[in-house]
Amino acid sequence: MSATKSSDFGLRLRQNMGFAIAVVLFSVVYFLYHLAHPKGFSSQVLVQNSNEVFSLAMLAMAQTVPVLMGGLDLSVGAVMTLVDCLASHVLEGAGWSIFGGIALCLAAGAAAGFVNGCVVVFGRIQPIIATLATGAIYMGLALFLRPIPGGKINEDINWAMTNALGDFAETVGIFDDGKAPWFQFFAGVPTSLVFLVLVAGIIWVPFRRSVTGRTVYAIGSAEGAAFMSGLNIHRGKLAAFTLAGIFAGIGGIFMAIQTSSGNADIPMAGAYTLSSIASVVIGGTSLLGGTGGAIGSIFGTLILKVISFNFRIFDIAPLLQPLFEGLVLLGAVSLGALSILRVKNQLELFR
């Protein structure tokens, strides 16, 4: 019994090697970061890091879903920017109007993703080029909403979302305004980190286990075989892009809350899209589709970000930082190439 269990664990480890490496790498580097930081292991540092990571982590999760089905979504940055600009219009008020605004933003993100899916499924255009075009359209809509940066976000929600759980409870007025004795243990946890875990747990995990989620993986492994097995590949593709839109929308909402404004910045949207692809690959998802997952992509983002955190405390000349970031990215993706050393038949290289 125990023998099968351990071999089962070994198999799972081998299947998720990229993910395991990402988790270990991040843990070690982040631990060193806290050791070296003058205010290391404090809630304050954790809150700051978590806020910086949240939007890109959402985009990385968004990018993961189309990549899993063997596609790519070059519009995630544009969808995030579009929702960011929309949020800067609809999240000004107080009370229940905020819930309406957030629902509207999520719907906008989902709609943008759904349109991507429709162009890919019914237009039969390759995802990479279809989302390149729709990305331009979403960017245009974002510029239409915010020709120049501006707008305003309700201050309470800004405070509640970008600080620790204790501040969140105080603003919302739960748990004796966050002063309940049992709550003190959690009071220092960053709110954005909790939401990141919640989004992953409530949206991603059930999706992955659903038939539609498995269909997405199957399409990425072998679309023809998935179709012949009777899976609804149209629904799988539509769901993959819609889910990407929802994740990107959540990222956009947080970006608006964090910056208290909307900003339709085309180069920034492009940079976020490219970083999301890098996060997905570092997190152990294959660009060919079929293997990996959104949790890995979160760790991919964490690795990308923790490197730039370390630059701040290890006193690396600012001019050299982009070079180091590039080398780390190139090195990280080259790690995946080690597997070709084991290939015995050269034909296996062509997939």
56 is a site residue for other proteins (CB under 8 A): no
> Can residue 316 be called a binding residue for other proteins (CB under 8 A)?
no
Closer to other proteins by CB, 178 or 289: give it: 289
Span interacting with other proteins, options 20-28, 166-174, 265-273, 307-315, rule CB under 8 A: 265-273
- Contact present, 156 and 173 (Cβ < 8 Å): no
Q: Which stretch binds other proteins (CB under 8 A): 40-48, 105-113, 172-180, 269-277?
A: 269-277
CA dist 328 → 16, 17, 216, 284, 306 (Å): 21, 19, 30, 15, 12
- Select 92 or 223, whichever has its Cβ closest to other proteins: 223
Q: Give the whole-angstrom CA distance, residue 295 versus residue 206.
A: 13
- Segment (H or E) for 305: helix 294-313
Using the rule CB under 8 A, is 126 a contact of other proteins? Answer: yes
Using CA atoms, how far apart are residues 198 and 96, in angstroms rounded to an integer?
Answer: 22
Q: Judged by CB under 8 A, does residue 342 bind other proteins?
A: no
Residue 148 in contact with other proteins, rule: CB under 8 A: no
Determine the 3-state secondary structure of 149 from DSSP: coil
Q: Indicate left, alpha or beta for 343 from its phi (over 0: left) and psi (-120 to 50: alpha).
A: beta
Mapped onto helix, strand or coil, the DSSP state of residue 164 is strand
Binding window for other proteins (CB under 8 A); candidates: 106-114, 204-212, 250-258, 342-350: 342-350
- Residue 70 CB, nearest approach to other proteins (Å): 8
Nearer to other proteins, 193 or 281 (CB): 281
| Distance of alpha carbon 279 from the chain centroid | 8
Q: Provide the sign of the torsion angle of the four alpha carbons 27, 34, 310, 80, taken in this order.
A: positive
Beta carbon nearer to other proteins, 16 or 285 = 285
Q: Which residues bind other proteins (CB under 8 A)?
A: 72, 119, 123-126, 128-130, 132-137, 139-144, 147, 223-224, 227, 233, 266-267, 270, 274, 277-278, 281, 287-288, 319-327, 329-330, 333-334, 336-337, 340, 346-347, 349-350
